[in-house]
Amino acid sequence: MRMHRKSRLDERLAACADILTVADLSEKNMQKAALVKQNLDFSALFERVNPVRLEIGCGKGKFICELAQRERDFNFIAVEKIGNVLIEACEAAKQLGLKNVHFINCAAEVLPKYLPDDSVEVIYLNFSNPLPKLGYAKQRLTHPKFLEEYKQFLKRGGKIIQKTDDKDFYLFSLQSYRECGYAVKEVCEDVSALNDPENIVTEHEKRFSDMGKKIYRVVAERL
């Protein structure tokens, strides 16, 4: 289903320019675009130099805004390819006055363009699209193609923390991590049952938990 474009979207994105980088979308070949480095200067973006954590596919930003409020001693980059969705995340962060979050409106494929090498210590993948149809596997954010790409900016010893409600995607991801030399450090096959106060429930997580679906979590380390 096609989403209705929000009114005044460009104007609203422009009003968030201090916390938002909008990718140059003129280059259609994303792999090629990623090669032309335009590294973000973290010390200029954030008031304090702190370790950087990244969420890819942040949607409307509930997770990243809650995490940034809890963890003031970390800086966060949140990436979302759909501006129509991302605007809600940016406006929420602005409303909360968060100084430790910066957003990028781009596809994950282009991230090496913006993120300096070895600059990220954690990547969060919350309810990434499982894309079960044949022929779409390469677009899954835990496909080996992406896990190799992440090695450019994810530090050695850095972690990917993934949650999903989709068992096949969970199993596919476990295999991908192992294939690409990431060590699977933790798995949980029913996050809701843990009643973990540290767990931040995302928009999609709430919807799926309310439907009684199991939530899977994996922590994989870049060796």
Ligand X SMILES: C[S@@+](CC[C@H](N)C(=O)[O-])C[C@H]1O[C@@H](n2cnc3c(N)ncnc32)[C@H](O)[C@@H]1O
Among 216, 220, 218, 189, CA closest to 205: 216
Among 23, 46, 52, 59, binds ligand X (CB under 6 A): 59
80 near ligand X (CB under 6 A): yes
Distance of alpha carbon 112 from alpha carbon 136, whole angstroms: 22
Q: Residues 109, 134: contact at Cβ < 8 Å?
A: no
Rounded distance, CA 28 to CA 183, Å?
34
Classified as helix, coil or strand, 29 is coil
Is residue 142 close enough to count as binding ligand X by CB under 6 A?
Answer: no
CB of 173 to ligand X, least distance (A): 14
Residue whose CB is nearest to ligand X in the complex, by number: 57
Q: Output the six-digit token pair for 49.
A: 């130099």
As measured in angstroms, the least distance from the Cβ of 137 to ligand X is: 13
Q: Does 202 bind ligand X (CB under 6 A)?
A: yes
Q: Check binding of 152 to ligand X (CB under 6 A).
A: no
Task: Tell me, by CB under 6 A, how many residues bind ligand X.
Answer: 19
- Contact footprint for ligand X (CB under 6 A): 56-59, 79-82, 85, 107-108, 126-129, 202-205
